[in-house]
Amino acid sequence: MIGVRSDVCMDLGNGLANGQGKHPLFSFGVISDVQYADIPDGHSFLGVPRYYRHSILVLQRAVKNWNDHKNLNFVINFGDIVDGKCPKDQSLNAVKKVVSEFENFHGPVYHMIGNHCLYNLPRDKLLPLLKIPNHGDGCTHAYYDFSPTPGYRFVVLDGYDISAIGWPHDHPNRLEALKILSEKNPNSDKNSPEGLKGVDRRFVMFNGAVGNKQMEWLDNVLKDATNMKQKVIICCHVPLDPGATSKTTLLWNYDQVMDLIHRYDCVKVCLSGHNHQGGYSVDSRGVHHRVLDAALECTPGTNAFGYIDVYDNMLSLVGTDQMKSTEFSFDF
């Protein structure tokens, strides 16, 4: 079930638990789509205002509140830390500037890549700056997992594994992405969904897919988590359920990824960014999907960040301003 709280405020509490009076097993901070750039305010292609310089102030306030909370074990950034409109001669310094703001948090920060990250820097430059663990393959893949406690595992997916952006021009993953786009999107501008219907609107260049090697890895991770009786939280910049997001902001092969996830009972929640207005759904197998609202589109003085308290049978997102609080209850 979902419960949206009415007591959303800047005070992120002190680690005391939900209405059940229980203390969380652990807690972590969340933010998505900062998309900072040192440029004047602008608009999305839909005309939604974007506040490029203000977004880093949202991040600064987030870090201060996470530190003031004193009981957050780590922070997860859901991607797109610098906007694609950032002048390319400023990209490296802009990424370093935002990363340094995250590093003011008194604990570990886990990053994932988004499309705007890749508009600014290629993978080989970006991933080391974000300290994303590599798989011994030259530090080019951005998927990994970690377990903050024995009973939970976080799985961070690389939603731009198969992508037309971020890879060298002749890389097989880029060529595969271009083939998918040429088959699925007839528009000359592959960022345009014009003429595409329903979930086919996802076949645009600013989305991507999970590749075969990553799918095999995910299968093994979920198998291992099942054997260890762990609950799993999936994190991906690109949303995985059409009920939680715009049809233009879905992972290209969300259906294949979710078919794999649904083979296991261990996955309880999928968290993502990318769709700036946020969203929430529960899919046909009872998995919760929460798309986190963007820091970029906060009007000056407002915020979009939060923290999540984790219990045995529930996650509780405590949000600020545009990021509404949400509870996700599930079976053991």
* 249 burial via Cβ count (<10 Å: 0-12, 13-18, 19+): buried
Domain assignments of the chain as residue spans, ordered by start: 26-329
Q: What distance in Å separates the CA atoms of residue 318 and residue 316, rounded to the nearest whole number?
A: 6
Beta bridge partners of 329: 314
DSSP code at position 162: B
Is there a contact between 253 and 163 (Cβ–Cβ < 8 Å)? no
Tell me the three-class secondary structure of 219-277, residue by residue: HHHHHHHHHCCCEEEEEECCCCCCCCCCHHHCCCCHHHHHHHHCCCCCEEEEEECCCCC
**Closest of 34, 202, 194 to residue 114, by C-alpha:** 34
Can you give the pLDDT at residue 16?
43
Is there a contact between 312 and 149 (Cβ–Cβ < 8 Å)? no
Question: What is the Cα 116 distance to its own chain's centre?
Answer: 12
User: 26-329 has which CATH code?
Assistant: 3.60.21.10
Can you give the pLDDT at residue 135?
57
Q: pLDDT truncated to tens, each residue of the chain (332 aa)? A: 333 333 333 334 334 444 456 899 999 999 999 999 999 999 887 788 999 999 999 999 999 999 999 999 999 999 999 999 999 999 999 999 999 999 999 999 999 999 999 999 999 999 999 999 875 556 588 999 999 999 999 999 999 999 999 999 999 999 999 999 999 999 999 999 999 999 999 999 999 999 999 999 999 999 999 999 999 999 999 999 999 999 999 999 999 999 999 999 999 999 999 999 999 999 999 999 999 999 999 999 999 999 999 999 999 999 999 999 999 999 86
Can you give the pLDDT at residue 138?
60
Can you give the pLDDT at residue 133?
82
**How long is the chain?**
332
Angle (nearest 5°) at CA 120 between 115 and 123: 70
Can you give the pLDDT at residue 262?
98
Is there a contact between 280 and 2 (Cβ–Cβ < 8 Å)? yes
**Closest of 310, 296, 294, 159 to residue 240, by C-alpha:** 159
Is there a contact between 108 and 75 (Cβ–Cβ < 8 Å)? yes
* 189 burial via Cβ count (<10 Å: 0-12, 13-18, 19+): exposed
Is there a contact between 65 and 117 (Cβ–Cβ < 8 Å)? no
Count Cβ atoms below 10 Å from residue 22 Cβ, excluding itself. Answer: 13
Would you give the end-to-end CA distance of the chain in angstroms?
15
Helix (H, G, I), strand (E, B) or coil at 68: helix
CA-based radius of gyration for the chain: 19
- 19 CB-near residues (< 8 Å, 6+ apart): none
**Closest of 233, 241, 280 to residue 257, by C-alpha:** 241
